[in-house]
Amino acid sequence: MKALLELFEWIGSGVQMALKTMSYIPSLPRQWKRLLEQCLFMGYATVPLVAILSFFIGAVLALQIGYSIMDFGAKQYIGTIIGLSMVRELSPVMTAIMVTGRVGSAVTAELASMKVYQEVDALRTMNIPPERFLVLPRLAAIVLVIPVLLIVSVVTGWIGGQVVCEYVDWIDLSSDLYYNSLKSFIKIDDLTDGLIKAELFGVGILLISSHLGLRTSGGPREIGAAVTRAVVVCIIFVLIFDYFITNILI
Amino acid sequence: MESTVTVEPVSVSIENLYKSFGEQKVLRGVSFDVKPGEIFALMGPSGSGKSVLMRHLVALEQADEGEVLIGGEPADDPGTQGNIRTAMVFQAGALFNSMTVYDNLALYPREHRLYSETVIWEKVTSVMRALSIEGAGRKIPAELSGGMKKRVSVARAIIMEPQLILYDEPTSELDPILAATTTELIATIARETGATSLVVTHDRNLALSIADRMALLMDGKLVFRGTPDDLRNNNDPQVLEFMNPTIDPLNPRFRKQENDV
C-alpha cells in the first residue's frame, strides 16, 4: 500500500513538473543559447551511436529475413520488410534506448548532482525556477534532435540491410531491387507514425530523467543510484508505452 | 565597497515554528524577530536545526506549524518571493559548477532582465574588484580555493542587491584569517547596503563580534535571545556549555567512541 502511494506521489509530482515546464514555453526564445548547447550535446553524443547501432540492426535483420524467406523465393521483399521494420518500430525504439543511455542518464546525473550540491536550491532562492532554467531547454532540445536521430537511424538501418543483401553470397540481392521494393511499400504515414512514436519516447525519457534528477536527495552516492533508476525506468517506459502507442497508430 | 547599492531592509519574524522529518523533531516552537537592517546571529551546535530554520526563510522547507514572515508577508508566498529580494550564501557555496565565476555572478540580473549586458558587466566587475576576486572571472568554481568560493558566493548574493541576506555557516571550513576576513565582509556589507542580515553559525567569535542581537538554538528550541553582552553575562548551564566547551578525555562519551572503533 505504501509503495503504491509512493508511486502515485511520484507520478503526481512528475506531472506537476511537466506542466510547470510547459507553462514556461513562452520564455524559450530567451533561452536560445542554452537550447543550442543542449541540441549540440544531445546530437554530438547520440548521432554516431545511433548510426552504428542502426547499421548493424539493419544488417542483422537482412541476414535473419534472408535466411527465413529464402526457401519461399521471396527475397525481393527483404527491402520492404527491413524498410517497414526500421521506420515503424526498430528505429524509434532503438533511438529511444540510445537516448536513454546517452542523454537521459547524463541529464539525471547533472540534475541530481546540482540537487545534492544545493545548486537547485540556489536557483530557487534566486527566484529562478529550475523547471524553466534546467528542464525546458533540455526538453525543447530533445524535441528538435529526435527527428534527426530517427532519420539517421532509419537511413543507416536501410543501408546496413542493403550492404548485407548485396554482398552476402547466399542472399545476393541487388541494390536496385532492394530499394525498389523498399520504396514501393513505404508510405509517408509510416514515417510520421515512427516520428510520433520517437517524439513521445523522447519527451517521456527527458521528463522522467529530469524528474528523477531533481528529486534526488542525500549524498553523492545517491547520484549514481538516481542514474541507474532513470535508465531502468526509461527503458521500461519505452517498451511498455511502445505497445500502447503502436496499437493506437496501427 | 563602492560597488554596493543601498536597499530598503526588511524585518523577519518567526512565530512558534515547528518542523519534523519523520519521527525526528527538528524545530520545536521557535520564535524570534529580526529588525530591519540589523545583523542577527543564530547560533547553536551542529544538528540543532539552524540551517533547517534558515531554509524556511527562502521557502526551501515548509513549516509543520507556525509562521515565517519576511517584511510582514509569509515567506513561502510567491508574491513575497517576487517582491522581496532575499539572497542566501550557502555553507558549501552552491556555485553553479558548469558556469564560469562571471556567469555565476551575472545569472540573477540576466535571468530577471534587470540590466543590459554592459551594465551587468560593470556591476559584476565592480563587485569582483570589491571582494578581491577580479582575476577569477573566467575560472570555473572547481578551480577555486575554499576561501575564494566563499567570496564568490557572497558576491553572487551582493549582485542581487538583496533586502535580506542569509548566511549559512559563512566561516566553516575556513582558516582563522579567512574566517576573520569573511566576518569583516559580512559586517561591511550590512553597513554599506543597509540590508538585514541573518547569520547562522556555530562560530562564537563571528557572532559576538558583529551581531547586533543573537539567539542560541539547542535541540530545536531557543535557549537564549539577546545582545552579545547579554550572552557573555548569561549563567544558563546550556549557554555556558556552548560558550565554554571543555574537553575531558575521561568523559564517558569519549570512551564510548573509543569502544565503537
Q: What is the CATH number of the domain that holds B235?
A: 3.40.50.300
CB contact under 8 A, A125 and B60: yes
CA distance B57 to B52: 9
Q: In the numeric block, which cell numbers belong to residue B89?
A: 550564501
Decide if A125 contacts B88 (C-beta within 8 A).
yes
B106 at A interface, C-beta within 8 A: no
Residue B121's pLDDT is: 95
CB contact under 8 A, A119 and B94: yes
CB contact under 8 A, A125 and B95: no
Whether the CA torsion B149, B9, B109, B81 is positive or negative: it is positive
Sequence-distant (≥ 6) Cβ neighbours of residue B62 within 8 angstroms: B56, B76
Residue to substitute from B56, B88, B164, interface A, most A β-carbons within 10 A? B88
B22 at A interface, C-beta within 8 A: no
The answer to whether residue B167 is domain-embedded is yes
Which among B127, B143, B160 is the end of a domain? B160
Residue A220's pLDDT is: 87
Which among B160, B186, B204 is the end of a domain? B160
Decide if B114 contacts B179 (C-beta within 8 A).
no
B214 at A interface, C-beta within 8 A: no
The answer to whether residue B7 is domain-embedded is no
The answer to whether residue B140 is domain-embedded is yes
B255 at A interface, C-beta within 8 A: no
Residue count (chain B) = 261
C-alpha distances (whole Å) from B17 to each of B167, B221, B224 are: 20, 10, 16
B165 at A interface, C-beta within 8 A: no
Burial of A11 from C-beta contacts in 10 A (0-12 / 13-18 / 19+): exposed
Residue B257's pLDDT is: 55
Residue B154 shares a structural domain with residue B120: yes
CB-closest option in A119, A121, A125 to B86 = A125
The answer to whether residue B2 is domain-embedded is no
A–B CB contacts, 8 A cutoff, strictly below: 45
CB contact under 8 A, A127 and B81: yes
Which among B128, B160, B192 is the end of a domain? B160
Residue B5's pLDDT is: 65
The answer to whether residue B209 is domain-embedded is yes
Residue B71 shares a structural domain with residue B176: yes
Query: A121-159 burial, b if ≥16 CB within 10 A, otherwise e?
Result: bbbbbbbbbbbbbbbbbbbbbbebbbbbbbbbbbbbbbb
Q: In the numeric block, which cell numbers belong to residue B254?
A: 569519549
Residue B102 shares a structural domain with residue B208: no
CB contact under 8 A, A125 and B88: yes
Residue B202's pLDDT is: 85
Residue B141 shares a structural domain with residue B220: no
Residue B61 shares a structural domain with residue B18: yes
| B54 to chain A, closest Cα gap in Å | 12
Q: Which residues of A touch B92 (CB under 8 A)?
A: 117-118
Residue to substitute from A119, A124, A131, A132, interface B, most B β-carbons within 10 A? A119
Decide if B226 contacts B213 (C-beta within 8 A).
yes
The answer to whether residue B5 is domain-embedded is no
CB contact under 8 A, A127 and B60: no
| A130 to chain B, closest Cα gap in Å | 12
* B52-105 per-position pLDDT tens digit: 999 999 999 999 999 999 999 999 888 887 789 999 999 888 999 999 999 999
* Residue reference for cell 542581537: B213
Q: Give the full edge-to-edge strand order of the sheet including B73-74.
A: B24-34, B12-21, B65-70, B73-74
pLDDT tens sequence for chain A (250 residues) = 888 898 899 999 999 999 999 999 999 999 999 999 999 999 888 999 999 999 999 999 999 999 988 878 788 889 999 999 999 999 999 999 999 999 999 999 999 999 999 999 999 999 999 999 999 999 999 999 999 999 999 999 999 999 999 999 888 889 999 999 888 888 999 999 999 999 999 999 999 999 999 999 988 899 999 999 999 999 999 999 999 999 998 8
Range of the domain at B25: 12-85+162-260
Residue B155 shares a structural domain with residue B198: no
B110 at A interface, C-beta within 8 A: no
Q: Which residues of A touch B111 (CB under 8 A)?
A: 126, 128, 133
* Residue reference for cell 509512493: A6
CB contact under 8 A, A127 and B96: no
Burial of A8 from C-beta contacts in 10 A (0-12 / 13-18 / 19+): exposed
The answer to whether residue B47 is domain-embedded is yes
Q: In the numeric block, which cell numbers belong to residue A234?
A: 526509461
* B138-147 per-position pLDDT tens digit: 999 999 988 8
- DSSP category for residue A133: I
C-alpha distances (whole Å) from A2 to each of A5, A8, A9, A13, A226 are: 5, 10, 10, 16, 20
Decide if B166 contacts B198 (C-beta within 8 A).
yes
| B243 to chain A, closest Cα gap in Å | 30
Residues of A with CB under 8 A from a CB of B: 110, 113-114, 117-119, 121-122, 124-128, 133
Question: Which residue type does A177 have?
Answer: L
Q: Give, for B40, the enclosing helix (H) or strand (E).
A: strand B39-43
Residues of chain B with pLDDT below 50 are 261
CB-closest option in A110, A113, A125 to B87 = A125
Domain boundaries, chain A: 31-249
| B109 to chain A, closest Cα gap in Å | 10
CB contact under 8 A, B111 and A126: yes
Sequence-distant (≥ 6) Cβ neighbours of residue B258 within 8 angstroms: none
Enumerate residues 168 to 207 of chain B having a beta carbon within 8 A of any beta carbon in chain A: none
Residue B183 shares a structural domain with residue B75: yes
Residue B156 shares a structural domain with residue B41: no
| B103 to chain A, closest Cα gap in Å | 13
Residue B261's pLDDT is: 46
B89 at A interface, C-beta within 8 A: no
Residue B182 shares a structural domain with residue B155: no
Query: Number of folded domains in chain B?
Result: 2
The answer to whether residue B6 is domain-embedded is no
Residue B125 shares a structural domain with residue B225: no
CA distance B167 to B170: 6
